[in-house]
Chains A and B, each alone.
Chain A
Amino acid sequence: MENRSPNNNLKEVVIKDNFDEKFGLFMRKNSFLETPANLSEKILFSIERERRFNNSLKMALSGIVAVLSFVGLIFVWRSESSLIIHSETVKLLSLLFSDFSVILSYWKEYLLSLAESLPVVSVLAVVFFLWITCTTLWLTVKIYLKSIHQHVFIKHA
């Protein structure tokens, strides 16, 4: 059986009354602790705004890189196209269509000829810029379509 003196009981009541009074006073002074009615909408709006900003930034960056790489592609093509088109490789490749059976007989010499005559660095430069242009263009379109889809989704949610 708990041995509680009357003084202890009195102290507990006083402490409890003081706590209630002070807690009520604290709550009345700090009314910001009450949640506003449209808090969830505000949070979602902030998230959506941040997401749109990030998407716009990504689209802008990939778009700029796509344009620059396209300009580079034009420059490289203008300087290297004659070397590629008039190389021996193109003429050797035409033999595949006209004399395929002969090529099969001398396939080792044919493959070596192709490897020796291929303007590797020129082709590599053109293909590199083409790849960068296509990749960044694809990324830009992908981000744009994704942002449209999300916008429609939220609108109808």
Chain B
Amino acid sequence: MFNFKEDWYKKLISRVLIGVGLLILALIIFSLGIMVGFHKAEFSYHWGENYDRLFGMPRDLGRNKIPDNPPRSVLGNLGGNEFSGGNSAVGSIIKFDSVSSTLYIKGDDNVEKNIVIDTRTLIRMGPKTIQPADLKTDDKVVILGVPSSTGQIEARFIRVFPPTTK
């Protein structure tokens, strides 16, 4: 019934297989996108809900807080730029609370984030490892961490860049 020496059989089978493979790849990429988007939205929700408690603003102003002046592009908000990720933070230090070991930073997108420092956190400036007490206001930092359910980031690694002298 099936003569696999016929060219059109071979072409049809190979095209079907390639099409199914591409569909699987597209679905995998789509799923990853949904996962990342959900992760981002979840942190943004917790951050917004706890903004008043984390940053000391009145509850009415803290609720539904959105980033001030988020970066705008001609393509609008297709990429979900209004949401902030919870696995990293890049910006400059506003304040360090040594009592609660909490760092307050403000990102380039004008989003404030609350960073919790614990014993597992590794802080580096240049080649040296430093202590949380060595952190200064206006230091540029890149933070890698884990988002918490309270809208904070539990820092695992902080890379400090000294402020550039003008």
Interface, chain A (partner B; CB < 8 A): 76, 79-80, 82-83, 86, 88, 91-92, 94-95, 98-99, 102-103, 106, 109-110, 112-113, 115-117, 119-122, 125
In contact, A119 and B157 (Cβ under 8 angstroms): no
Is B73's beta carbon under 8 Å from chain A? Answer: yes
In contact, B75 and A95 (Cβ under 8 angstroms): no
In contact, B75 and A109 (Cβ under 8 angstroms): no
**At the interface, is chain A mostly helix, strand, loop or mixed?**
helix
- Chain B residue, CB-CB nearest to A122: B73
Q: A99-B124, A121-B78, A121-B79 are in contact. Are A113 and B87 (CB under 8 A)?
A: yes
> Which residues of A lie under 8 Å from residue B156 when comparing CB positions?
106, 109
Q: Given contact pairs A92-B142, A116-B87, enumerate 7 new A-B contacts (beta carbons under 8 Å).
A: A80-B74, A102-B157, A109-B146, A112-B39, A113-B85, A116-B40, A117-B90
Interface, chain B (partner A; CB < 8 A): 32, 36, 39-40, 71, 73-75, 78-79, 81, 85-88, 90, 107-108, 122, 124, 142, 144-146, 156-157, 159
> Which residues of A lie under 8 Å from residue B32 when comparing CB positions?
115
- Chain A residue, CB-CB nearest to B127: A98
A89 smallest CB distance to B (angstroms):
9
**At the interface, is chain B mostly helix, strand, loop or mixed?**
mixed
In contact, B39 and A116 (Cβ under 8 angstroms): yes
In contact, A116 and B75 (Cβ under 8 angstroms): no
In contact, A86 and B108 (Cβ under 8 angstroms): yes
A14 smallest CB distance to B (angstroms):
60
Q: A95-B144, A113-B144 are in contact. Are A119 and B108 (CB under 8 A)?
A: no
> Which residues of A lie under 8 Å from residue B86 when comparing CB positions?
116
A/B interface sample: 30 pairs, CB < 8 A: A82-B71, A83-B71, A86-B71, A88-B88, A91-B90, A91-B142, A95-B142, A95-B159, A99-B159, A102-B122, A102-B144, A103-B144, A109-B87, A109-B144, A109-B145, A110-B87, A110-B144, A112-B85, A112-B87, A113-B85, A113-B144, A115-B36, A116-B36, A116-B39, A119-B79, A119-B81, A120-B79, A121-B73, A122-B79, A125-B75
Q: A95-B142, A95-B144, A112-B39 are in contact. Are A121 and B75 (CB under 8 A)?
A: yes
